[in-house]
Structure 1
Amino acid sequence: MPEQASPITAGEPQATRRRKPRLPAIEYIRGIAMMGVIAIHVGSQYLMNQTANLHLIALLEVVSRFSVPIFFFISAFGLFYNLDIHEPLNYKAFMKKRFRTVLIPYIVWSLFYLLHDGIFYRMGFPDPLHLLSILFFGTAKYQLYFLVILIWFYLLMPLWIAIVRCAGKVSLTLLFIAQIAFDYWSSFSVPFNTFVYGLPDHSWLKPFLMYRLNYWVVHYVFIFVLGGYLAVHIKEFQTFMREHRRAITVFFWATLLWLLAYYYQLIYETGYTALEAINTAHQLSPAGLFYTLSSCIFFFTIFTYQKYPGWLNPVLHQLGRHSYFAYLVHPFFITYAAMALQKSGHLMTAPITIVFYFVILGLSMLAAVLCRRLGEHIPILNEWTIGVYPRRKK
């Protein structure tokens, strides 16, 4: 997401308070998460190969499962980092800014994909009632639901402030346990899912339950609250990361191995297909929630204390700076790259899939850079696509 008006980094500092020091980790995590989301969607293309390499699928579809939840983590972190939770929130001003940075781009990109896909797939444009349903559930394109959930998080900001204000280690632990229980019920409860899928297609309730992952913020409440809590207690968090780097690293790898073991168990012991396995070993499974938690802490630690080559920082900066646009545009390039591959008669083998991934990443980043530069001359372009507005002259 963009660094100024981003829904990830923008906080609500008081006019009389100085902004806290910039945290490169937030920007770098944005870039890594964007790369993970693209990996998941490229993996969906690779799954069409009936003889797909199960290990490459694990890399694309399982290892990258932290991507969406970690966006919510850094969204909350950016909001709370420069927010005084003990002062009244100017809710009107807060929501006005969020609508400019998220709602307008969401509507613009939704309309873009609806127009594009209507022409490309010869489906036409939806009628007004269907359009409202699409915008409410975030189904214009498969990556846009993230912005819908983010908007709901913004709308409920006074609630999150109240929770973070009262949160502590015990309450966060209890919230994490409740998160595991709720997500398990939502994802794996046979009676509940049987009820949902058994509803008649004309039932008004069915879409509200079928698309619950697209707007029920409760699926990601813990990780959002955790991001806000750690931002408010940044000094203690930095001390924790510095003193427990090794334990954080071990925790990360242990949870990743747990999630991968679950994936392989589903395939080799339970007899699931690769598609069934990744739809089970996902970020809302118990193993996935622990992996999400460990990833948030691990990447923040790595990017805060930077135990890696310094030359990577400019690369991570560019990935983070242009992650918002790249995240929103990459399905467009996947559509045409997949069509070109199909017309060439090539099957998505493992080597081709790896090249395909980097082509999509490269095209998405190139489009983001070009659009950002063009938007400096045509401000409305940046305003409508990524919610970045020209700086006001003092």
Structure 2
Amino acid sequence: MFSWSNRYPISIPIEALASSPSFYFLRAVEQVVVFSIPAFIFVSGYFAAFLAGRHTSKFNFKQTFTRIRGLLIPYLIWSIFFLGLGLVEGKSFSPGRILTNLLIGSTTPAYYYVPLIIQLYLIAPLLIFAARKNWKVLLIVTGLIQVFIHLPVTLSLWGFQGELIQSLPQIPKWIFITRVFWFSAGIVAGLHLSKFKPSLQRMNTVFGLASIFFLIAGFIEWEVFKGPLQSRETIIDGFYQIAILLFFLSLGDQIKLPFNKTFNFLSAKSFGIYLAHVPVMEIFARGIYLFTPWILPNHLLFFALIFIAGLGIPLLGMQIIFSTKLRPIYGYLFG
């Protein structure tokens, strides 16, 4: 909306863009889906607990490293592909820069997730041991870490600018401690959910209302304090993420969500979509920028086209590869 406004056929002031209905709609979408990465990491923690088993003290390292390999190989292929696109554009990368990009997932802003989740799988045995010994202490400690990480952004957004605030570290999001609470919570759920499932189900309505409250509060927080366009999560966002995860955990076992089959189909392909959507959306968006710039100020149309391309083209490519003689390389590309 903003960085490409120079390509609009007509001039639109930045102030008008930032107060337009399409801006608020897209901000609302951004606020709604802020729980998605914690949810992915929570599910990964649940999976790690499943590998460990509820009644054994041993952790299945073989299956864990198989899982890491399944994440790492497609990630490296797509990262190298993205670096290749940069070379085609005329960019140059030193060997050190290439290695750094691959290690911390900075080839694109989205790929940090893979190094992050691999780190969490590597420390999973320690977290599982702690969850078995005292899951409450584990959640309290990792929860306080999460609050400390969100604190600088929250206080800065609220207008606190003292030296102490400035001295608080901005921890890169690819480091495991930035998400260790969600992974730990997934492990605790995987090991102990049956014990407190009845209590959670009795509070289903409370969690649903809390999710709505913190969703609205998070939206208002950024708009009142006018946070940066490239947002970082605040403490209120953290409360929203907790509430919505507890809401889903508190659903009755017999409840079926709308479009259940569709979501199950997409979830099975989510890692492949995640890897492929980044170059697809970037190339598609640049094509609009170069050849059909009249679409750019029609923000919701642009949003719809990017969404359809980012989801549809990876799914189509996955289906083609899976259904042809290329099927043996499917796992290497999409996990």
TM tier, shorter chain? 0.7 to 0.9
Within the candidate set 263, 283, 293, 1:345 is matched to 293
What is the CA-CA distance between 1:230 and the residue it aligns to? Answer: 0.7
**Structure of greater relative contact order (alpha carbons < 8 Å, 6+ residues apart):** 1
| Residue correspondence of structure 1 range 44-63 to structure 2 within 5 A | 48-49=4-5, 50=14, 51=17, 53-63=22-32
The C-alpha deviation readout for 1:231-256, integer Å capped at 9, x for no partner, is: 11131343234322211211211221
Which residue of structure 2 lines up, in the alignment, with residue 251 of structure 1?
210
SS at match of 1:212: coil
Q: 2:106 aligned to 126, 139, 153, which one?
A: 139
Q: Are 1:319 and 2:286 matched, yes or no?
A: no
The structural deviation recorded for 1:228 is 0.6
What whole-Å deviation, never above 9, does each CA across 1:110-146 have from its counterpart, x for those lacking one?
Answer: 1111112321x2214x332221111111111221100
Q: Pick the aligned partner of 1:184 from 151, 157, 173.
A: 151
CA contact (8 A) 1:326 1:364 kept: yes
**CA–CA separation in structure 2 for the residues paired with 1:265 and 1:303:** 37
Within 2, Cα distance between the matches of 1:152 and 1:166?
22
Is 1:238 the counterpart of 2:197? The answer is yes
State which drifts further: 163-172 or 241-250.
163-172
Pick aligned residue for 2:75 from 92, 106, 119: 106
The answer to whether the Cα contact below 8 Å between 1:62 and 1:278 also exists between their aligned partners in 2 is no
Secondary structure of the structure 2 residue equivalent to 1:168: helix
1:314-367 Cα deviation digits (max 9, x unpaired): 211111111111111111121222122122122242331332223322223322
Displacement, 1:90? 4.2
How far apart are residue 210 of structure 1 and its match? 7.5
Q: Given the alignment of the two structures, is residue 84 of structure 1 paired with residue 44 of structure 2, yes or no?
A: no
Structure 1: distance between partners of 2:256 and 2:102 = 43
2:235 paired residue number: 286
**Which one-letter code corresponds to 1:385 in the other structure?**
L
Please name the residue that 2:9 is paired with: none
Deviation at 1:186, TM superposition (A): 7.4
Match of 2:11 in 1: none
Cα gap change, 1:109/1:349 in structure 2, threshold over 3 Å: closer, same or farther?
same
Structure 2 counterpart of 1:212, one-letter code: P
Structure 1's 372 and 168: CA in aligned 2 closer, same or farther, altered over 3 A? same
Q: Pairwise CA RMSD of aligned residues?
A: 2.8
Tell me: CA distance 1:48–1:290, structure 2 relative to 1, closer, same or farther (3 Å).
farther
Alignment-mate amino acid for residue 335 of structure 1? E
Q: What's 1:335 paired with? A: 282
What TM-score, normalized to structure 1? 0.71
Q: Which residue of 2 aligns with 1:373?
A: 323
1 CA distance for matches of 2:197 and 2:64? 30
- Relative distance call for 1:132 and 1:178 in structure 2 (3 A) is closer
Please state how far the C-alpha of 1:171 moved relative to its aligned partner: 4.9
Structure 2 contact 48–121 (Cα < 8 Å) conserved: no
Q: Secondary structure at the match of 1:233?
A: helix
State whether residues 52 and 58 of structure 2, in contact with CA within 8 Å, keep that contact through their aligned partners in structure 1.
no
Partner Cα separation in structure 2 for residue 58 and residue 304 of structure 1? 33
2:52–2:60 CA contact under 8 A, matched in 1: no
Q: Does 1:212 align with 2:159?
A: no
- Gaps of at least 5 residues in structure 2 are 6-13
What is the letter of the counterpart of residue 58 of structure 2?
P
- Alpha-carbon distance in structure 2 between the residues aligned to 1:265 and 1:307: 37
Q: What is the CA-CA distance between 1:46 and the residue it aligns to? A: 6.9
Q: Does the residue aligned with 2:52 lie in a helix, a strand or coil? A: coil
Change (3 A) 1:188 1:300: same
In the TM superposition, what whole-angstrom CA distance separates every residue of 1:222-278 from its partner, at most 9, and x where no partner exists?
A: 1110111011113134323432221121121122122112122123xxxx5xxx155
Q: 1:46 to 1:74 in 2, by over 3 A?
A: farther
TM-score normalised by structure 2 residue count = 0.82
Cα shift at 1:55: 1.2
Q: CA deviation at 1:180?
A: 0.6
1:57 is displaced (CA, Å) by 2.6
Is this contact kept in 2: 1:167–1:229, CA < 8 A?
Answer: no
Q: Distance in 2 between matches of 1:72 and 1:292?
A: 12
Q: How many residues are matched?
A: 313
Asked if residue 152 in structure 1 is aligned to residue 102 in structure 2, the reply is no
User: Structure 1: which amino acid aligns with 2:78?
Assistant: W
Compute the displacement of 1:371 (Å): 3.2
